[in-house]
Chains A and B, each alone.
Chain A
Amino acid sequence: MSNIVMSADDVRRAVTRIAHEILERQRGGAQLVLVGLQRGGAWLADSIGAAIDAIEPAARVPVGYIDVSMHRDDIGLRPVVPGAISRIDFAVDGVTVVLVDDVLYTGRTVRAALEGINTYGRPRSVQLAVLVDRGHRELPIRPDYVGKNLPTHMDDDVRATADGVTVEGKPR
């Protein structure tokens, strides 16, 4: 059975709040870039970027996308099929990079993204924004900005889009 845990309006409000939090912590959008993790984080990075634009039009925060499949630690354990191609056409040296993903789970994708970002340069700091934190971390990674904390079972299927967030549980 499938449960709706966030509606489209809830997602929109969470995105706006995260945009405010990012700007508050950075004291404006100077030296700030957003990098969405392909593919689930790409739309969210775009949404947060648009929200930041609406709040502080002068900030002009660039948005990029990174595909982390070449940096994963489970290559060889399961078929790795790269998603969309990375596109980071701005320098990341010395700026604050906010990594953006839809669902934070084991933390392994974020670890791969941290390593991937380093092939583009050396950011001053890296932060993490997610729409849903579903727990079950396997690495010491925590988000800086969270849309919703969502306790789940490990075999639940969590889907997050701009239209809302659903959890599909196996019958127990």
Chain B
Amino acid sequence: MMKHLRSIDELGRDGLMRLLDLTHHMVEVNHRPVPKVPALRGRTVVSLFFEDSTRTRLSFETAAKRLSADTMTFSVSTSSVNKGESLRDTVETISDMGIDAFVVRHKSTGIPWQISEWTNASVVNAGDGWHQHPTQALVDCFTVREALGKERFDGLTLTIVGDIMHSRVARSNIAAFSMLGARVVLVAPPTLLPPDVSHWPVEVSYRLDDVLARTDILYMLRLQSERMSQGHVPNLREYAETYGLDAVRAAKLPPHAVLMHPGPMNRGVEMLVDPSLLPNSLIHKQVANGVAVRMAVLFDLLAGESSAAGLAQAAS
């Protein structure tokens, strides 16, 4: 039971294992003819997205509904933010309506921590800038756990390829997979690596071809097109040739290796083969598991005793 989920480090290894175990229950609920349980009846979850998202926002809202929570969606384009309302005023206004959790995505690092200072509700980080995206890491760990049938990842090598510097998915996955015992290798051009990764539990390589043969989990990141104009890569074709996954590279992977991508995918840039043609692609599983993982997160946050304390407080 936790109050907030803002980063993988805050969750810790015990919390990570607890949420992954709980996700198995939610997968079972999702397989029922009526995939809905009353666990969070009467709770309200607000999605507060200041950045675009398809799968994260929809999977959180589906997760809340399958647990019978009420949902509200805040979309910046139709809100009073356009009249100059500050983030703090927005959060406090929504809080006053009596809500139980905020699911927050924002372009700035640390916003979920800031918001949790302004509200008594639980805060879930659905992506803050380049910093953290803990539920994506939970999805990825659960997907690997299911695919390989292992609870711990000791002896496995996770290779993350692409724009590490700007990737909150990479930061959360480095923390989560190494907590579960995996070795993490980062592959990227020097311009797309953070200036100093010496304090991260990782190994760095600039050549994808060197590490494919010892990779168990190949994680391709999206190359955001705006990075090119910022001079991080000379051009997309060169990036694709050096760091893209084509059929020749896919053939160098060990036969048991699995392929992952957080979406949305840039076909022809980091992904030069159709991943649905590769036997060990987990990309569709990642999306499918997204709802169950987020159900586990919301259940863990909102089904605990904290709300009972709130009831007792209200009654006294």
Give residues in A with beta carbon < 8 Å to B. Answer: 67, 69-71, 75-80, 82, 85-87, 115-116, 118-121
List residues of chain A with CB within 8 A of the CB of B235.
Answer: none
Partner of B35 from A71, A116, A119 at Cβ < 8 Å: A119
**SS class, residues of chain B in contact with chain A:** loop
What is the bound-complex CA distance between A153 and B37, given in angstroms?
Answer: 33
A119/B36 in contact, CB under 8 A: yes
What is the bound-complex CA distance between A76 and B311, given in angstroms?
9
| Measured CA separation A76–B36 after assembly (Å) | 18
B33 touches A120 (CB 8 A): yes
CB-CB contacts below 8 Å: B12-41 with A: 22, 24-25, 28-29, 32-40
In the bound complex, residues from chain A placing their C-beta under 8 Å from that of B98 are: none
Nearest-neighbour CB distance to chain B for A92, whole angstroms, equals 9
Query: Are B25 and A82 closer than 8 Å at their CB atoms?
Result: yes
Whether A86 contacts B303 by the Cβ 8 Å rule is no
Give me 30 A-to-B residue pairs in the complex whose CB atoms sit less than 8 angstroms apart, sorted by A's number: A67-B25, A70-B25, A70-B37, A70-B38, A70-B67, A70-B299, A71-B39, A75-B303, A76-B302, A76-B303, A76-B304, A76-B305, A76-B307, A76-B308, A76-B311, A78-B305, A78-B308, A79-B303, A79-B305, A85-B24, A85-B25, A85-B28, A86-B29, A87-B28, A115-B38, A118-B34, A119-B34, A119-B36, A120-B33, A121-B33
Question: Which positions 257-316 of chain B face chain A at CB distance < 8 Å?
Answer: 299, 302-305, 307-308, 311
Interface size on B, residues (CB 8 A): 24
Query: A78-B308, A119-B36 known; 9 other A-B pairs, CB under 8 Å?
Result: A69-B39, A76-B304, A79-B303, A80-B303, A85-B25, A115-B38, A119-B29, A119-B32, A120-B32
B interface, CB within 8 angstroms of A: 1, 22, 24-25, 28-29, 32-40, 67, 299, 302-305, 307-308, 311
Q: Which one of A71, A79, A82, A87 contacts B304 once the chains associate, using CB atoms below 8 Å? A: A79
The chain B residue with its CB closest to the CB of A92 is B33
When distances are taken between beta carbons in the complex, the residues of chain B under 8 Å from A85 are 24-25, 28
Question: B residues within 8 A CB of A75?
Answer: 39-40, 303
Q: Which 6 pairs of residues, A with B, have the shortest CB-CB distance?
A: A70-B37, A119-B34, A70-B39, A76-B307, A119-B32, A82-B25
Write out the residue numbers on chain A whose beta carbons fall within 8 Å of the beta carbon of B67: 70
A80: which B residues are within 8 A, CB to CB? 39, 303
Q: Which residues of A contact B40 (CB under 8 A)?
A: 75
Which chain A positions have C-beta within 8 A of B34? 118-120
Q: Is the CB of A79 within 8 A of B28?
A: no
A72 nearest in chain B by CB position: B39
Contacts of A120 in B (CB 8 A): 32-34
**By the criterion CB–CB under 8 Å, are B311 and A82 in contact?**
no
Residues in A with CB closer than 8 Å to B25 are 67, 70, 82, 85-86
Interface centre among B1, B37, B304, by most chain A C-beta atoms within 10 angstroms, is B37
Which residues of A are found within 8 Å of B24, using beta-carbon distances?
85
Residues of B within 8 A of A78 (CB): 305, 308
Q: How far is the CB of B37 from chain A (nearest CB, A)?
A: 4
